[in-house]
């Protein structure tokens, strides 16, 4: 778009009034009105952006054609700072206005240029994809190589799924976190679909108008097919299956896309130990999962094998019958840990799960200081920062389970998790010992290195 001076824009206003790329705002106009125009200019596809002339008002709103005048500015620095701050903080994506102070007919006025934001979805996918490891495979006697790594379409489906189904009532962003071995997409808003039905046809849409836009523009395919498509594509790429976690307590949904190949050479070598038991491929996947993560439940089994709840129960019971797994818990809370038969068959290729126990703190220098700090708290302590600081120091010594942390403070575990631990996880002050399986029987909390 042409770069106009404030004087030229003022003359256009008086000649032809406001249009789709110029708006006049008076000093008395509300911040909301100004930010609505900023949002409109930055998000209108193909417009290229637009100009806002500040401290400009109509001389007589009833007369036609409308003639504009320049009003005096009481505090230019404050107005300029407020506009820049609101543009940076009021939207999910910060808007960077170009603000200049110029003269119109000898009087001071603000000229604000708002750029059109680039297409967010594709920019986001490209940014993530460019950071991922890439390679290619050229089979013997073959002339055409195939690419390896996380398929771009998996990224596309996962991000579209997040944008379509997130809760926009939550004033926090969708987070995409890149780890060494996985990508996590943390979305505000738990899944409206029950966990046992994730990946099955059908959808429960939180944002029907947003979903309609994605479907009408062919960015999204059949309703309810997003998770199933991700599972299928990752299986075809010989990658470890994705896992999904929906939490009503934290009001969030987490998608995990693992970047390493599943059943690699060392895994296949280890599985040869189980050949005589005539296990299915799905049961073999479960053994690898248990070996790496330390436990598995029905939901995790369904996600890595793409089967229904009944088939998952049958397969897990068979592994339990062979004593490869031991069941813990009851009903929906049932989970499985490695059994003694796996221990008998283990070789140096196996990776036994890390056992975590948290006995009462021993009286030594650092733990003693923490115990004294807990004892010094008021019975109804209201200083949240003080309690969080103690939890951070406690989990810095070693991983601690929620039951033990709550016990140190003489509090009920569900209350303590809701009041402190879940919040500290969301704020990245703590992290899970087993992020791949939040319901892990040995789940514990560690202090983040950055804290």
Residue 360 resides in a domain: no
Residue pair 162/174 in contact (Cβ under 8 Å)? The answer is: yes
The 3-state secondary structure of 65-109 reads CCCEEECCCCCHHHHHHHHHHHHHHCCCCCCCCEEEEEEECCEEE
- On whether both 137 and 252 belong to a single domain, the answer is yes
Residue 357 has pLDDT above 50, yes or no: no
Structural domain span for residue 428: 365-447
Residue 328 has pLDDT above 70, yes or no: yes
Average pLDDT of the residues in 431-449: 83
CA end-to-end span of the chain, whole Å? 46
- On whether both 125 and 101 belong to a single domain, the answer is no
Residue 404 resides in a domain: yes
Considering 258, 281, 315, which residue would you say is the last residue of a domain? 258
For residue 374, the domain's CATH number is 1.10.10
Count of domains in the chain? 4
Closest listed residue to residue 119, CA positions, set 38, 20, 44:
44
Of 17-21, 57-61, 324-328, give the lowest mean pLDDT range: 57-61
- On whether both 93 and 138 belong to a single domain, the answer is no
- On whether both 228 and 149 belong to a single domain, the answer is yes
Work out whether the CA dihedral 423, 429, 432, 433 comes out positive or negative: negative
- Kind of pairing between the strands at 182-188 and 252-258: antiparallel
Query: Using 50, 70 and 90 to split pLDDT, how confident is the model at 379?
Result: confident
pLDDT at residue number 158: 87
Average pLDDT of the residues in 369-387: 84
- On whether both 386 and 333 belong to a single domain, the answer is no
Considering 242, 258, 274, which residue would you say is the last residue of a domain? 258
- On whether both 82 and 137 belong to a single domain, the answer is no
pLDDT at residue number 218: 63
- On whether both 94 and 128 belong to a single domain, the answer is no
- On whether both 390 and 431 belong to a single domain, the answer is yes
- On whether both 131 and 158 belong to a single domain, the answer is yes
- On whether both 200 and 73 belong to a single domain, the answer is no
Percent of the chain with pLDDT over 90: 16
pLDDT at residue number 365: 35
- On whether both 129 and 240 belong to a single domain, the answer is yes
Angstrom CA distances, 292 to 265, 285, 351, stand at: 15, 11, 6
Residue 358 resides in a domain: no
Residue 352 resides in a domain: no
Q: Would you tell me the crossing angle of helices 298-305 and 309-321 to the nearest 10 degrees?
A: 110
Residue 226 resides in a domain: yes
For residue 49, the domain's CATH number is 3.30.950.30
Summarised one tens digit per residue, pLDDT across range 331-348 is: 777 888 888 777 655 543
Residue 354 resides in a domain: no
Closest listed residue to residue 123, CA positions, set 176, 83, 191:
176
- On whether both 105 and 166 belong to a single domain, the answer is no
Average pLDDT of the residues in 61-88: 84
């Amino acid at each position: 778009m042409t770069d106009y001076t404030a004087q030229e824009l003022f003359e256009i206003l008086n000649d032809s009034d406001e249009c789709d790329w110029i708006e006049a705002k008076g000093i008395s106009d509300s911040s909301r009105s100004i930010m609505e125009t900023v949002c409109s200019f930055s998000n209108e596809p193909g417009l290229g952006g637009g100009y806002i002339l500040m401290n400009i008002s109509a001389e007589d709103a009833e007369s036609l054609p409308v003639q504009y005048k320049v009003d005096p500015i009481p505090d230019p620095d404050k107005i300029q700072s407020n506009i820049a701050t609101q543009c940076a903080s009021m939207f999910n994506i910060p808007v960077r206005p170009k603000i200049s102070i110029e003269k119109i007919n000898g009087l001071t006025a603000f000229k604000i240029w708002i750029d059109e934001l680039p297409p967010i979805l594709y920019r986001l996918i490209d940014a993530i994809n460019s950071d991922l490891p890439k390679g290619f495979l050229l089979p013997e006697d073959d002339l055409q190589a195939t690419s390896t790594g996380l398929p771009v379409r998996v990224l596309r489906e996962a991000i579209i799924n997040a944008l379509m189904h997130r809760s926009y009532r939550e004033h926090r962003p969708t987070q995409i976190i890149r780890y060494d071995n996985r990508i996590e997409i943390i979305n505000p808003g738990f899944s409206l679909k029950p966990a046992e039905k994730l990946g099955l046809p059908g959808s429960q849409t939180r944002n029907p108008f947003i979903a309609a836009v994605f479907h009408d523009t062919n960015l999204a395919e059949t309703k309810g097919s997003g998770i199933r498509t991700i599972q299928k594509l990752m299986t075809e790429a010989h990658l470890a299956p994705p896992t999904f976690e929906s939490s009503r307590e934290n009001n969030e949904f987490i998608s995990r896309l693992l970047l390493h190949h599943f059943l690699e050479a060392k895994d296949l070598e280890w599985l040869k130990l189980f050949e005589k038991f005539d296990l299915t491929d799905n049961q073999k996947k479960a053994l690898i999962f248990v070996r790496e993560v330390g436990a598995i439940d029905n939901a995790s089994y369904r996600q890595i094998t793409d089967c229904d709840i009944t088939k998952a129960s049958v397969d897990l019971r068979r592994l339990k019958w062979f004593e490869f797994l031991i069941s813990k818990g009851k009903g929906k809370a049932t989970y499985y840990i490695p059994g003694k038969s796996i221990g008998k068959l283990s070789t140096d290729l196996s990776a036994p799960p890390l056992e975590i126990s948290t006995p009462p703190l021993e009286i030594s220098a650092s733990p003693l200081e923490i115990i004294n700090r807990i004892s010094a708290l008021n019975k109804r302590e209201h200083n949240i920062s003080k309690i969080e600081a103690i939890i951070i120091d406690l989990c810095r010594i070693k991983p601690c389970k929620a039951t033990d942390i709550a016990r140190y403070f003489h509090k009920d575990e569900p209350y303590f998790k809701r009041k402190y631990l879940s919040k500290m996880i969301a704020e990245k002050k703590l992290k899970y010992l087993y992020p791949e399986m939040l319901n892990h029987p040995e789940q514990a909390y560690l202090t983040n290195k950055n804290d």
